[in-house]
Amino acid sequence: MTPLFSITVPTLLLCALLACAVWHDVRSRRIPNGLVFGGALAALLLHAVLTPLGGGLGVPASLAGLVLGLALLLPMYMLRALGAGDVKLMAMVGAFLGPQQLLSATLLTLLAGGVLSLLVAACTGVLRQVLGNSYRMLFYSLLRGVSGGNARLDAPQAASGRLPYAIAIAAGTALSFFWSFS
């Protein structure tokens, strides 16, 4: 089996799954569980088959990527900054990429999410509210921390909207591929 096959097949499958996730997220602001669970299972099986043939990450690295993808975005879900589907989607991406490439994909996803949120806020006329919410959250967290209290970030009083974060996950993953091949 050629090394190109072991790189291309998982990459193409991941791209197709991310495209489906983006489509669902933009359309309904939900990412189906069947898509992310099926995708994660496909990644594990694909890496199990490709590894003995001279390619793939291997099942342990694929599982480690899945767990890391879940762990990295879980705090944002707990803060109500992301939905559960977004966290599960990043876990699926981790099953395809493994833990090492997932770190760069997650960092680039967070950057893409920040840019996307500012663009959406500007286009929908709520940029001032988003910036005000961010300022208040950080300011009050800083005050609590300086006064010896818990410097946690509280959720904003008025939500500024829901963002189809699968776009950011797909963009961050794509950027990590370009970064790894350059």
Query: Each residue's pLDDT tens digit in the chain (182 positions)?
Result: 444 444 688 899 999 999 999 999 999 999 999 999 999 999 999 999 887 766 678 899 999 999 999 999 999 998 888 999 999 999 999 999 999 999 999 999 999 999 998 898 889 888 888 788 778 878 877 877 777 777 666 655 555 457 899 999 999 999 998 887 66
Number of domains composing the chain: 1
**pTM attached to this predicted model:** 0.82
Helices (H), the chain: 3-28, 33-50, 59-78, 84-124, 127-146, 166-181
- Does the residue 95 lie in any domain? yes
- Does the residue 38 lie in any domain? yes
CA separation, residue 134 to residues 75, 125, 158 (Å): 17, 16, 11
- Does the residue 40 lie in any domain? yes
d(CA 50, CA 5): 9
- Does the residue 99 lie in any domain? yes
Domain extent, residue 59, equals 3-107
User: Using the 8-state DSSP alphabet, how is residue 57 labeled?
Assistant: -
